[in-house]
Structure formats: C-alpha cells, structure tokens
Structure 1
Amino acid sequence: MLGCENAWIAAGSLMVSIKNEGSIKIADSQIDEALNRTRRQAIGGYCGLTGVCGIAPAIGACFSIILGAACPKDRETSITMKVVGKIVNVIADETGPCCCKNFVRTALAEAIKLTDQYLNVQLPISDEIPLCTHVERHPHGCRKDKCRYYTV
C-alpha cells in the first residue's frame, strides 16, 4: 500500500512507455539506470521527513537520463528540475494522508503531459480514471471522497 516500490513502478512504467512509443530510443541499460537512481533517492518515510516523495525523483531520473542532464548543463538540467517541481506539486495536492497508489497514478498522469511538453512524446492516457480497490488496506486511513480514485 505504502512504500518506495511505488517509485520504482513510476520510473519503470514511464521509461518503458517512452521506449514502447518509439520516438526516442531507450536502451534497457537506461531503464536500469532510472531504477538505480530511484533506489538511491526513494527512501521510506522521507515524504514526511523531507517533503519529497520518492516518486518525484523517480520521474526526474527518467527525464535526466533521456535529456542527459548534469550539473554543468543548462537546458537539460533546468527541464529536469522543472519536471520534478511539477511532480512534487501535483503529489502535494493529493496528501492528507499520503497514499502512494494515488501518488503513482497522479504523477504518471502529469508526467505524460510533461513528456509531450519537453520531449515531444505523446503517450496515451485513458479518459477513464480507474477506481481504487485498496481503501480498506490503507494503514493511515483513506482520504475517501477527497481522492479522485475513490469509489463508494
């Protein structure tokens, strides 16, 4: 229900989706690198301790790898940071209490917009929002009707 494996799901899903779309060549080694970078930054409990959910650096790692971002670079690093900032903001709008399943869905929906904006890659997204079936499993209590994925 909660945990950093959700960040790995986000990074892996985004990288494989971009690879499958085909406009940008993504090697398996780049997918592995996104997962390794995510593992180093997605640490349990840090969402509450530092204010950064591991899903944000996971999405950032994807953009960083694709763009070749690095400290001495300009545009590539700027875009990556803007992406992470947007992801943090959309996740922040979904807190109270935190729900990693919501965060993955919300972050990937935003990442799809950002891949179009910054990478010129159009990924499909369904107009139908899949409803959550994990309400009773949430250890901190579900946000219920405050969550866009909640079902009665």
Structure 2
Amino acid sequence: MNKRRGACLVCGKPLVYLEKPQQMKCSICGGDFENNVSCEDGHYVCDNCHSKKGIEAVFEGCLESDSKNPVSLMQELMENPYIYMHGPEHHVLEGAALLTAYHNCGGELDIEEALQEMVRRGKEVPGGICGFWGCCGAAVSTGIAYSIIQKTTPLSGKSWSRCNQMTARALQQIAAHGGPRCCKRNSFLAAQTAAQVLAEETGVQLEMPEKITCGFSDENQQCLKNGCPYFNNGV
C-alpha cells in the first residue's frame, strides 16, 4: 500500500468514480461488493480493508492521549501510515478526537466506552458519502460524538435536535468551502465547528490551535491550494 498518493492503495493510480455501482472484488480481502469506485487499473479496496488498521490506531491513540485539542490530536494521528489522505477512517477519527478532547477538558465521559461506541457507529458510515449522499462523513462523525456525549437515541427530545444541529452546522461549513472532497480539510472544519457547539451547549471549552496549517497538501491530487483555509504554500 502507498499512503503518499491520495489514490489507489494498491498501485497509486487515480481513482475513477462511476455514476452507477458495479460488482467489484476487493484487491485485499477478495470479497465481492457493489461499489462506485476503483482505480484506473480496476483495483478496488473495500471500506473495511481501507480503514481497519487506521481505526485501530485512532482508538489506541485517543485512549492514551491527554490532548485537549481535537485538531492537534487529529494532526498527530493523521501521520500514522494507515490514516490515508482520504478514506472512511476519518469518519471515526473526527468524532474520536472530539470525544477525547472533551473528556480531557473535564467533560463527563467514560472515554474507553465512548471510543468503542464511536468506532462501532463510525464504521457504519461508508466512504464517498460526501459526494454520493451529500452528507460528509466528517460532519456525521461530529453528530455521532455529540449523541454519545448526550446519550441520545431516536426517542430523545432536546438532545435529538442538538445532535442534528451539530451535524448541520458542520455540513454548512464544509459545503461553504466547496469541492472536490478533502478528508483533511473537512475534518478540520468539522472540528472547529463542533468545538463551538460543545462550548455553547455543554460549557466545555476545547482547546484550538491559533492557526491550523495542513501538512498533507502534497498528498492530495485535488488540493484546492489557496482556495483552502489551511493550505501552506511552503508544503
């Protein structure tokens, strides 16, 4: 696998997205799936194979972390070789970093139990939904994290509304910066928005960097460059 290409994990070639799904075989586990994406050479990697080791790294890293800053924590975890430029592992990473920072800033939470639930729910959010469903997984991940904090269910009242507002506000920020997708940019935008919501709704103030600078631009073949608020010309 090649982390530094932001494309196919097998050969590094660009990905091709199809309007209609096709039957594909995962190049790693050999499983058969109906999906919309493969690389130019036809390689396909299923969500589980793509994200399994990355999610394990996120869980272990967050459980051991004393960080109060979800963005700094995400940036640290993103350096792991199994957290790729893009991919469904970010759908766990975003919420896990929020839960960790919330806990370390004094929020009442059984952090190990919360992270386990974050992994369980986040793994159900498929790759590519930002384009195929119109709902970026980084934003969904903030809603998952908030629902865990508030112990929300489909039958809840005020917290049901607030969880949806969390996701909606994160989505608004992500959408405002336009496409194509970037899992790093969207994760940073979602984290900043979620920190504001948590402060307003729970009184727990998460730490934030004075300036967020992306160190992954050279990995992203579709980087917006100066169109991204986190772009570093020196990268």
What TM-score do you get using the length of structure 2 for normalisation? 0.61
Q: Does 1:100 align with 2:183?
A: yes
Shift in Å, 1:76: 1.0
> Secondary structure of 1:40's partner?
coil
Percentage of identical aligned residues: 26
Is the 1:3–1:100 contact (alpha carbons within 8 Å) kept by the matching residues of 2?
yes
Instruction: Sort the Cα spacing of 1:144 and 1:78 in 2 relative to 1 into closer, same or farther, 3 A.
Output: same
Is the 1:55–1:104 contact (alpha carbons within 8 Å) kept by the matching residues of 2?
yes
Letter in 2 for 1:16: T
Output one character per residue of 1:41-75: Cα deviation in whole Å (capped at 9) or x when no partner.
2x111111110111122111111111121122110
Aligned residue for 1:25?
109
1:64-83 matches, cutoff 5 A: 64-83=147-166
- Provide the alpha-carbon RMSD of the alignment: 1.3
Q: Does 1:52 align with 2:135?
A: yes
Q: Does 1:15 align with 2:96?
A: no
Which one of 190, 202, 214 corresponds to residue 119 of structure 1?
202
Is the 2:99–2:111 contact (alpha carbons within 8 Å) kept by the matching residues of 1?
no
Unaligned runs of 5+ in 2: 1-84
Letter in 1 for 2:202: L
Shift in Å, 1:3: 0.9
In 2, Cα distance between the equivalents of 1:115 and 1:150?
26
Deviates more, 1:24-33 or 1:107-116: 24-33
Q: Does 1:138 align with 2:138?
A: no
Q: Does 1:149 align with 2:230?
A: yes
> Secondary structure of 1:80's partner?
helix
Shift in Å, 1:93: 1.6
In 2, Cα distance between the equivalents of 1:78 and 1:2?
30
Is the 1:18–1:26 contact (alpha carbons within 8 Å) kept by the matching residues of 2?
no
Aligned residue for 1:6?
90
Instruction: Sort the Cα spacing of 1:82 and 1:137 in 2 relative to 1 into closer, same or farther, 3 A.
Output: same
Unaligned runs of 5+ in 1: none
What TM-score do you get using the length of structure 1 for normalisation? 0.91
Is the 2:142–2:194 contact (alpha carbons within 8 Å) kept by the matching residues of 1?
yes
Instruction: Sort the Cα spacing of 1:28 and 1:150 in 2 relative to 1 into closer, same or farther, 3 A.
Output: same
In 2, Cα distance between the equivalents of 1:17 and 1:71?
26
> Secondary structure of 2:136's partner?
coil
Aligned residue for 2:118?
34
Runs of 4+ in 1 over 4 A off after TM superposition: none
Is the 2:100–2:111 contact (alpha carbons within 8 Å) kept by the matching residues of 1?
no
Shift in Å, 1:34: 1.4
Instruction: Sort the Cα spacing of 1:11 and 1:23 in 2 relative to 1 into closer, same or farther, 3 A.
Output: closer
In 2, Cα distance between the equivalents of 1:23 and 1:100?
27
Letter in 1 for 2:111: A
